Amino acid sequence: MSIKRKVSLEITASRYRKASQSIIAMQ
């Protein structure tokens, strides 16, 4: 796997985690 793809996957994962946390906080 290329480093660029790995970094983008980590960014997407952190972004998804923040979004899910904010959704949980809203409920």
Residue extents of the structural domains in the chain? 1-26
- pLDDT value of position 26: 84
Instruction: Name residue, tokens 């290329």.
Output: 2
- pLDDT value of position 27: 81
The 10s digit of each residue's pLDDT in 3-13 is 999 999 999 99
- CA-CA distance, 2 to 7, in Å (whole number)? 9
For the chain, the residue count is 27
Is 1 in a helix, a strand, or coil?
coil
Mean pLDDT of 1-27: 93
